[in-house]
Chain A
Amino acid sequence: MSEAALADVKVLDLMWAIAGPAATRMLADYGATVVRVESTTRTDICRTVAPFHELPPESESAVLFHEMNAGKRMITLDLGTPAGREVALDLVRWADVVTEAYSAGTMHALGFGYEALRAVNPSIIMLSTCLMGQTGPLAAYAGFGNLAHSITGFGALCGWPDRAPAGPFGAYTDYIAPRFSAIAILAALDHRRRTGEGQHIDLAQAEAAIHFLGPAMLDYTVNGRVWTAAGNADHDAAPHGVYPAAGDDRWIAIAVRDDAEFAALAAALGDPTLARDPRFATIEARRANLDALDAVVAAWTAARDPHAAETALQAAGVPAAVVAGSADLCADPQLVHRQHVRQLTHPTYGTTPVENARSRLSRTPAMVAGAAPTLGRDNHEVLETILGYDADRIADLVVAGALG
């Protein structure tokens, strides 16, 4: 087997929460050495977010933290102490890439601004990611992905026309921005390989996420039209929605985009005449009679197990899927085929599940190297093996309170 794709990449990761660590998790999956710095006094919020291995939650029981940090090394450092800062600067000298997700200006105030990092490592690549960017009137605006998805327009586009905005779920832009962060880092590494030049990348979560709303944004800048929440409706498809299935809170998603798919749906529903019914024969007719159409579809789905309905519709060529919950997803034959859920050895829980990399490379596949570090697990390894400190120096750091 070939060496891991990113085996030669070293990352000092000063990020926390989701949007940042998800990006470095992707790099770690492909073999980068990622050293995260965590504070023992200012806990990573992912340690306090469900799901948990146990209740009440303990500091190591959050599955989200395991998910975000699998395959990484971690050192606890107090960047407010001179000794802690010296260790951090040695890690900057070691690293190819430094990532941080503090509010804009925080790194500079800590003495770790880009110029300071470049002074000790001239070719360093630094990625700073925050909600709104490093400059501008809202630069210092702190926040999480639920705020970024609201301020960038996702919230207003996820809901029913007669109700308050319903979503999207959680910190939605935190699931978008990390992809762009990883992309920017990898492109900057390519530039450095060819030119020797490092640089500072300012990645605003909001600015990256807006690319996932492109058509709605252009419809405003070009046509002046403001999109509003429209449930699950789609302007090019009917039926198009989420229909009830048998069971408690079970649902199935169905999307029919043309007459051929509608004929297939009609056959699967056991009533091929529906395709000739003047109310439903064309997309225009189906959209005009949507309530009647939805009632026909829902009457069929509501009587069926969602998985059985999914199988029947897919067999007929109709785009359909069970609205999957965790149990469905963990047992999904396709995700199982792709080894999506991995069990990793963990000192407290025996094993802990994480999701696999979300891409497959044929020759240098991703490898999740091990469970996320428990607090302080790797302190000695980082100091001894990566930084080459001797036992006396490490003891001095402990005494100075730098590893906190």
Chain B
Amino acid sequence: MLSPYRVLDLTRSRGHLCGQILGDLGADVVQVEPPGGAPTRRRGPFVDDAPHPDRSLEWWAVARNKRGVTLDLDRARGRELLLRLVAAADFLIESETPGVQAARGLDYAALAAANPGLVYVSITPFGQTGPKAAWADSDLVLLAAGGPLRLTGDEDRAPLRVGVPQAYAHAAAEAAGAALVAHHERARSGRGQHVDVSAQQAVTLATQAYLLSSAVGFPDARRISGGAGMGPLSVRFVHPAADGHVSITFLFGSSVGPFTRRLMHWVAEEGGCDAATRDKDWVRFFDQLFTGEETFAELVRVQEAVAGFTRTKTKAELLRAALERDLLIAPVATTREVVENAQLAARDYWRTLAHPELDRAVRYPGPFARPSRTPLRYRRRPPMVGEHNREILGGELGLDDAELARLAAGGVI
């Protein structure tokens, strides 16, 4: 869908996913790395646990559908070559701490002078300006600063993050959307602009508007293992299964109550609760909690009865019942179970890219969307360090082999 467009991706460790998303949509994405490769390449896990800059799986997860060149942007010659690439670029993505690109003469103002149509995207921890703009960051720190961390975990222990970094994934996806908004506007005006994305602000979406509760005098959400404490209500989603856990949307109201009613009929059928419990008004149950017709203690008792029931079933049995009886139950899946998921297999989700340099084929997470006319294509495996220096710096900028060799010897590429 974006095949006419060129993206220069200057991200080093934050926000690589943004360029990959645009690449998955067909854009020609050129990842610009420092000589030796992006720092992300030094992070594990590695293929066969053998550390090597071309074998980092953290890198592979965010570098597909990109070409790669190395350029030292702290040297004048490196910046000069970058500026020649900028002249023909539609998007530039960078993730340096605010001020770093300005010191190099590579901030938006400088590059817009060279290419007024450029959409220049900055992904930073806290945004371009403000009292925390220069603060130190990490995934955990940003999840704390943006709110989702406090909502997750066991009541009697510290708040918890997901074991795969999330903050810059949120920021990168936010940035890709905002870049396309600016791109849409550019089609009318011919002008680019600066897109400023803060990872702290991006992750606030994961508070599900709980960020706003104090603004209306409502109590903060409480973290509850496998659930959520919302005002006086404690909702438990994670329930035990015979071979692991499942998640159940145990809620009420006109749209969800009927699912809960069907679940309680199944529980009762198999002796997990009595008829009176089964026959509660699950559509109106939420309102009844607030009018006093039902009590929060009674809700806890019912949730415990459901947990006692699910404990006797396997994850597969519970999923089958969800399909047959139209219930809101899903297995808590391991990564192995995700990769082996029959639905994803039926949709040919996992996509294989050949890695001839390692003599193997690798299955990657598949297309994030399926547009009927313009399917997402997996065109390129992640680039090796400097793999496309000759193709781009030579083929496009016209540097000859002798010049490329001099730049390499001088540490510019």
Contacts and interface: CB of A to CB of B under 8 A. Distances in A.
Contact of B209 (A51, A142, A213, A325): A51
Contact of A199 (B177, B182, B350, B373): B373
B195 to A, nearest CB: 6
A270 B44 CA distance: 33
Given A333-B130, A355-B204, A136 B108 contact: no
A361 B181 contact: yes
A149 B194 CA distance: 33
B372 A200 contact: yes
Interface residues of A, number: 170
A330 B331 CA distance: 36
A355 B230 contact: no
Contact of A314 (B135, B232, B362): B135
Contacts, number: 540
A320 B286 contact: no
Interface in A152-170: 152-160, 163-170
Interface stretch (A77-85, A232-240, A282-290, A373-381): A232-240
A153 B335 contact: yes
Interface in B169-224: 169-170, 173-178, 180-185, 187-189, 191, 193-198, 200-202, 204-216, 218-221, 223
Interface string A321-339: 1111111011011110110
Chain A interface mostly: mixed
Contacts of B187: 190, 193
A136 B206 contact: no
Nearest to B205: A175
Contacts of A163: 154, 225
B305 interface: no
A324 B364 CA distance: 35
Which of A219, A244, A326, A330 gathers most chain B CB within 10 Å? A326
Contacts of B161: 158, 232
Nearest to A186: B180
B380 to A, nearest CB: 16
A179 interface: yes
A197 interface: yes
Interface string A1-20: 01101101100000010100
B410 interface: no
Given A180-B369, A358-B204, A353 B335 contact: no
Interface string A180-201: 1111101111110110010111
13 contacts: A143-B328, A147-B249, A190-B183, A201-B371, A222-B362, A232-B158, A324-B146, A329-B204, A352-B216, A355-B212, A360-B127, A361-B196, A363-B191
